[in-house]
């Protein structure tokens, strides 16, 4: 045994510098500890404790101690050792590496066990050391974002440091945002500024900031939150159409997915507004309860505005403009998020499709004379109400804009949130009006709009357009819609498979048509758009687009005041389009001048929703009877309604008055009608385009009484070809009415356009 010891004792007599020798000692001690750590960690620690008493100034010994505790994730002892190292070896790069790992864990939202341990470790350190560590770690950061996040950790933990660093950090972030030339306010710098730094600054009681700065920050916050809420989803929907839009992930460049989420943005904005308001000594109670309350308060405040001067006036102005603007943008967003949900990423677009605000045409089937009278009457009434001698001309938009009491009709089952939506629309309009009630307010508001570039916010333009349509400023609305169609023009190849983009594009066109109609400009214009590969589009393309080329001298707001919010589906839009055309031809057909073509079109169009238009049809028959003859060569192509056929068959009979009916097209058309017709769009199955059930019902009932009907016509001795045509036509009763009307629109568009004034 002794021999072993002697061997062990085989020291060499050599001279090494003391430094070298001490280093060897330390290496020996650390090595022994490392050898033991896995099998007997207690022994390893005993070695290191001993080693540290021998060489307290040796970094590696302490680091080894730390590593053992850190690897075992013993928070308290590791924290203690880290503290010692931080105090005793502040210049060691390894310590700094360690600290940066820990601060990274603090910044990250990683929930794994080790990250949590590192965060816990940091928590064990005394506050002073935490503060110093964060400051030093911040100094070592070169990346603005990381540096800001680090400093933010400091500010969150040590509110007293907010006074010193808060505003600087905020300004640094805003500068970084500006210098990076980011296109959207929803960027990492702004997010950090608005969500993290700003609350610290404004809530710190020791901070005294000038009102102008606070308002500047307030607007920065508002711009961010509005931008966040209304963020569009352009990329995602194109790339992955199958993914539900509500669940789409949104990541702000430079941030993690989790920190990209902003919970309850409107509420946060309201919180900031409340604090800023209190700090700027705004009028009214300190806690802003809700956006609606806020609008009420600034409305009241507005009454005093003209009497105020100087400082007080400008403070009051700021308050009104900021509050009203926020209410405006929030309410407008809420409205547009229902009407055009697909625009926003944060809104579940699947809940309902787009909606479209149009003139209500439901009274189109009513008698044209009655209608005229009613309109005249309304006109008179309006004149009386205004107390001024004013004629309602299309240029007189001022007058129409007074239409405050206009109703917006909505199908309540199709839009469950109809009440909230209409409320939002109203609140937004009121805010807008308030902002434009004084020059001072308008100037301020325009400044905000300019700095936020609200002109480029498509969603806001949609609201504005609907608002001016509501106000009856159709001319303005048209120019706005023109701009929108230009913006929304789908790029070839970017067509989304669902046809959504195209439908939204046509949404603007349909609205234009409605506006033109409201202005009394009825020139159907089949635009040359070629996206007709689905029947939805072809319907809409064909029917909806009315563009002015001439002005009709007869200018009336024919359909009164009501508006209608319709779902933007072909099922809902097609009737509107048909009604729109009907309304146009109706006016022409029933003038004192004879216009058989228009009258024929009216008859064709009246088939839809039969027998809604029965009265009008009978009026048309009356007119034919008065004329004694009627020429409409398209009759057998497009009239398949059995009641109408029966009526026309009857007109030729002596009992019917032997009316001269020239309804036959050329021979070829009779023989091979489908050669001249475009392929039926209904060969493609589409649930949207199935005709309404009542169409089938009508057809079935017609089939069942066909024989009777036909014999009634023939046995009265009509000409053979007419008889044949009638027989053939009766056999077509089962044809889908929508496809018949669709063909009518497609094939006859030139005639239709020409026959319009």
Partner 1 sequence: MGDIRQSLLPRDVLSAAKELLYHLDIYICNLVQSGRQPPQVDTKTLELVEEFILHAPKDRNAPPRRMNALQELQLLEIMCSCFQEQSRDTVRQLMFSALFSLQGNQADESRMALLGKLVSMAIAVGRVPILECAATWLQRTHRVYCVRLARVLVDDYCSLVPGSVSTLYNIQSSSPRFCCQFITAVATLYDLTSEELTPPLELLQMIVSWLQDDPRLVLITFLNTPLSGSQPISSLDLTPLGGLVRWCVKAPLAYRRDKKQSLTNGSSECEPDVGPLFSALHLSVLQVFMLLPNILNEKGLFGRLALLQMEPLAALTSDLSRLLDQADKHTHSSSTDTHALSQLALDRLAQALQVAMANGALLCSREDLRAICSRLPHNNLLQLVMSGPVMYFNNIHTPPLAFSPHASHSPITTHPTHPTHPTHPTHPTHTPLASHPSSHPQYPAQPFLSGMPFPFRPSH
Reported as type and span, the H/E element at residue 647 is helix 642-652
Site of tokens 């360690």: 98
The residue range among 45-53, 316-324, 592-600, 606-614 that interacts with partner 1, by the rule CB under 8 A, is 45-53
For residue 360, the tally of other CB atoms under 10 A from its CB is: 21
Residue 12 as a binder of partner 1 (CB under 8 A): the answer is yes
Minimum distance of partner 1 from residue 120's CB (angstroms): 20
Q: Distance between CA 214 and CA 216 in Å, rounded?
A: 5
Residue 238 as a binder of partner 1 (CB under 8 A): the answer is no
Minimum distance of partner 1 from residue 66's CB (angstroms): 16
Residue 76 as a binder of partner 1 (CB under 8 A): the answer is no
Q: Are strands 629-631 and 355-359 parallel, antiparallel or unpaired?
A: unpaired
Minimum distance of partner 1 from residue 205's CB (angstroms): 39
Q: Distance between CA 30 and CA 238 in Å, rounded?
A: 60
Long-range contacts of 166-174 (CB under 8 A, 24+ apart): 166/197, 166/200, 166/201, 166/204, 166/207, 167/201, 167/207, 167/209, 167/213, 169/197, 170/197, 170/198, 170/201, 170/217, 172/144, 172/147, 172/148, 173/144, 173/148, 173/197, 174/220
The residue range among 1-9, 103-111, 300-308, 673-681 that interacts with partner 1, by the rule CB under 8 A, is 1-9
Minimum distance of partner 1 from residue 71's CB (angstroms): 17
DSSP 244: -
For partner 1, the closer of residues 9 and 494 by Cβ is: 9
Residue 55 as a binder of partner 1 (CB under 8 A): the answer is yes
The residue range among 11-19, 132-140, 475-483, 577-585 that interacts with partner 1, by the rule CB under 8 A, is 11-19
Site of tokens 């609200």: 454
| CB 344 within 8 Å of CB 233 | yes
What does the longest C-alpha to C-alpha distance in the chain come to? 145
Question: What is the SS3 assignment for 307-359?
Answer: HCCHHHHHHHHHHHHHHHHHHHHHHHHHHHHHHCHHHECCCCCCCCCCEEEEE
For partner 1, the closer of residues 84 and 367 by Cβ is: 84
The residue range among 55-63, 232-240, 375-383, 721-729 that interacts with partner 1, by the rule CB under 8 A, is 55-63
Residue 49 as a binder of partner 1 (CB under 8 A): the answer is yes
Residue selected from 5, 38, 206, 456 as contacting partner 1 according to rule CB under 8 A = 5
Q: Distance between CA 297 and CA 46 in Å, rounded?
A: 72
| Residues whose CB is less than 8 angstroms from the CB of residue 607 and which lie 6 or more positions away in sequence, other chains included | 638, 639, 640, 641, 644, 737, 740, 741
Residue 494 as a binder of partner 1 (CB under 8 A): the answer is no
DSSP 498: T
Phi-psi bin for 609: left (phi > 0), alpha (psi -120 to 50), beta? left
Minimum distance of partner 1 from residue 29's CB (angstroms): 8
Residue 40 as a binder of partner 1 (CB under 8 A): the answer is yes
For partner 1, the closer of residues 56 and 678 by Cβ is: 56
- The SS3 assignment for 288 reads coil
Residue 712 as a binder of partner 1 (CB under 8 A): the answer is no
Residue 46 as a binder of partner 1 (CB under 8 A): the answer is yes
Residue 50 as a binder of partner 1 (CB under 8 A): the answer is yes
The residue range among 46-54, 145-153, 637-645, 722-730 that interacts with partner 1, by the rule CB under 8 A, is 46-54
Residue selected from 33, 37, 47, 121 as contacting partner 1 according to rule CB under 8 A = 47
Minimum distance of partner 1 from residue 52's CB (angstroms): 9
Minimum distance of partner 1 from residue 99's CB (angstroms): 22
For partner 1, the closer of residues 22 and 174 by Cβ is: 22
- Alpha carbon 630 to its chain centroid, in Å, reads 51
Can you read off the two tokens belonging to residue 406?
């206009």
Q: Distance between CA 555 and CA 398 in Å, rounded?
A: 15
For partner 1, the closer of residues 62 and 454 by Cβ is: 62
For residue 515, the tally of other CB atoms under 10 A from its CB is: 27
For partner 1, the closer of residues 15 and 142 by Cβ is: 15
Q: What are phi and psi of 233, to 5 degrees?
A: -125, 35
Reported as type and span, the H/E element at residue 551 is none
Residue 528 as a binder of partner 1 (CB under 8 A): the answer is no
For residue 274, the tally of other CB atoms under 10 A from its CB is: 18
Between residue 137 and residue 156, which ones bind partner 1 under the rule CB under 8 A? none
Size of the site for partner 1 (CB under 8 A): 39
Residue 91 as a binder of partner 1 (CB under 8 A): the answer is no
Residue 8 as a binder of partner 1 (CB under 8 A): the answer is yes
For partner 1, the closer of residues 43 and 375 by Cβ is: 43
Residue 623 as a binder of partner 1 (CB under 8 A): the answer is no
Residue 63 as a binder of partner 1 (CB under 8 A): the answer is no
Residue 165 as a binder of partner 1 (CB under 8 A): the answer is no
For partner 1, the closer of residues 47 and 525 by Cβ is: 47
Planar angle of CA 314, 224, 433, nearest 5 degrees: 45
Residue selected from 9, 38, 491, 530 as contacting partner 1 according to rule CB under 8 A = 9
Q: Which residues in this chain contact partner 1 in the complex, by CB under 8 A? A: 1-2, 4-16, 18-19, 21-22, 24-25, 27-29, 31-32, 40, 42-43, 45-47, 49-50, 53-57
């Amino acid at each position: 045994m002794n021999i072993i010891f002697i061997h062990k004792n085989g020291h060499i007599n050599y001279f090494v510098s003391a430094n070298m020798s001490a280093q060897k000692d330390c290496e020996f001690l650390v090595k022994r500890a490392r050898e033991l750590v896995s099998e007997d960690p207690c022994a390893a620690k005993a070695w290191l404790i001993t080693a540290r008493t021998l060489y307290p100034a040796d970094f590696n010994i302490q680091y080894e101690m730390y590593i053992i505790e850190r690897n075992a994730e013993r928070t308290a002892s590791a924290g203690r050792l880290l503290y010692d190292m931080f105090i005793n070896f502040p210049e060691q790069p390894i310590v700094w590496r360690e600290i940066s790992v820990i601060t990274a864990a603090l910044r990250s939202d990683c929930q794994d066990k080790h990250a949590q341990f590192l965060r816990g470790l940091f928590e064990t350190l005394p506050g002073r050391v935490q503060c110093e560590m964060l400051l030093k770690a911040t100094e070592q950061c070169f990346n603005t974002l990381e540096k800001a996040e680090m400093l933010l950790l400091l500010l969150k933990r040590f509110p007293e440091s907010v006074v010193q660093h808060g505003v600087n950090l905020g300004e640094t972030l805003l500068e970084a945002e500006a210098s990076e030339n980011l296109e959207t306010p929803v960027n990492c710098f702004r997010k950090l500024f608005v969500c993290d730094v700003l609350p610290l600054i404004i809530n710190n009681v020791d901070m005294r900031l000038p009102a102008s700065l606070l308002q500047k920050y307030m607007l920065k916050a508002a711009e961010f939150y509005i931008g966040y809420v209304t963020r569009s989803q352009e990329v995602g929907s194109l790339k992955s159409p199958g993914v539900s839009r509500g669940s789409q992930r949104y990541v702000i460049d430079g941030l993690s997915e989790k920190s990209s989420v902003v919970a309850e943005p409107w509420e946060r904005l309201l919180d900031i507004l409340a604090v800023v308001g209190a700090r700027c000594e705004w009028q009214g109670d300190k806690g802003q309860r809700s956006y609606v309350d806020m609008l009420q308060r600034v409305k009241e405040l507005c009454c005093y505005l003209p009497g105020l001067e100087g400082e007080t006036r400008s403070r009051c102005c700021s308050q009104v403009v900021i509050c009203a603007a926020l209410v405006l943008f929030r309410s407008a967003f809420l409205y547009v998020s229902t009407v055009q949900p697909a625009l926003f990423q944060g809104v579940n677009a699947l809940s309902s499709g787009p909606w479209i605000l149009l003139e209500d045409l439901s009274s189109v089937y009513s008698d044209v004379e009655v209608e005229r009278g009613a309109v005249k009457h309304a006109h008179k009434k309006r004149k009386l109400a205004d107390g001024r001698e004013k004629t309602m001309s299309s240029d007189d938009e001022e007058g129409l804009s007074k239409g405050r009491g206009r109703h917006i009709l909505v199908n309540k089952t199709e839009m469950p949130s109809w009440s909230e939506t209409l409320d939002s629309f109203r609140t937004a309009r009121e805010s807008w009006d308030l902002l434009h009630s004084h020059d001072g307010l308008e100037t301020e508001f325009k400044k905000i709009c300019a700095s936020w570039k609200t002109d480029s916010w498509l969603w806001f333009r949609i609201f504005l357009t609907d608002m001016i349509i509501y106000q009856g400023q159709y001319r303005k609305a048209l120019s706005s819609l023109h701009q929108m169609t230009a913006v929304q023009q789908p790029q070839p190849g970017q067509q989304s498979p669902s046809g959504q983009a195209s439908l939204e594009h046509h949404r603007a066109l349909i609205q234009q048509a409605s506006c033109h109609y409201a202005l009394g400009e009825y020139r159907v214009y089949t635009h040359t758009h070629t996206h007709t590969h689905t029947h939805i589009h072809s319907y809409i393309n064909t029917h909806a687009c009315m563009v002015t080329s001439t002005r009709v001298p007869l200018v009336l707001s024919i359909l009164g005041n009501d508006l209608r919010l319709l779902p933007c589906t072909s099922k809902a839009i097609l009737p509107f389009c048909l009604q729109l055309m009907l309304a146009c031809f109706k006016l022409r057909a029933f003038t004192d001048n004879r216009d058989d073509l228009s009258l024929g079109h009216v008859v064709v169009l009246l088939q839809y929703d039969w027998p809604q238009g029965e009265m009008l049809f009978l009026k048309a028959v009356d007119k034919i009877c008065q004329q004694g003859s009627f020429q409409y060569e398209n009759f057998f192509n497009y009239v398949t309604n059995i009641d109408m056929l029966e009526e026309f068959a009857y007109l030729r009979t002596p009992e019917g008055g032997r009316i001269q009916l020239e309804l036959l097209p050329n021979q070829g058309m009779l023989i091979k009608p489908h050669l001249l017709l475009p392929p039926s769009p209904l060969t493609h199955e589409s649930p949207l385009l199935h005709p309404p059930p009542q169409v089938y019902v009508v057809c079935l009932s017609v089939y069942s009484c066909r024989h009777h009907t036909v014999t009634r016509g023939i046995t009265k001795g009509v000409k053979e070809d007419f008889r044949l045509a009638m027989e053939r036509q009766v056999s077509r009763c089962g044809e889908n009415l929508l496809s018949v009307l669709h063909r009518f629109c497609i094939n006859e568009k030139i005639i239709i356009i020409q026959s319009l004034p």
